[in-house]
Structure 1
Amino acid sequence: MSFQLEDEGVTIKSILKFATGASKDPLLGFSKNPTIQFAKVIFPSASTCINELVLPVEIVDYEFV
């Protein structure tokens, strides 16, 4: 079974916008390339100044957080 991002309403465009604040590539490109960091955090977060998406390493049941 494969997971399709579109099944949940998540698209590559929406991930790019969350991580960088831009819904499409700037005409002259990003000053810093977007990166993904995996860390021991509860919720995904982004730092749009440095184009970094931080994703949790472990899956958490968000109903109890």
Structure 2
Amino acid sequence: MTYVSNIFNSSLNSNRSLKYYSVEVITFDGDSYTEEVEARSADEAQEIAASMYDDVDYTMVQGCFAY
């Protein structure tokens, strides 16, 4: 992975309970996928989503849904 974009500030990640994150994954081929993952932080969500694909160029959190 060459680039990770995190648009959330640290206050969102201060509560370490599980949340659902919508993460866009872009591959080197230019394909775009949106994954819904459960994680404790935006960084963790991006790592989980990136691990689902082999040739990830970058990821970006699109939204967060607490429950």
TM-score normalised to structure 2 length: 0.28
Higher helix fraction (1 or 2): 1
Higher-RCO chain (CA-CA 8 Å, sequence separation at least 6): 2
Higher strand fraction (1 or 2): 2
**Of the two, which has the highest radius of gyration?**
1
TM-score normalised to structure 1 length: 0.29
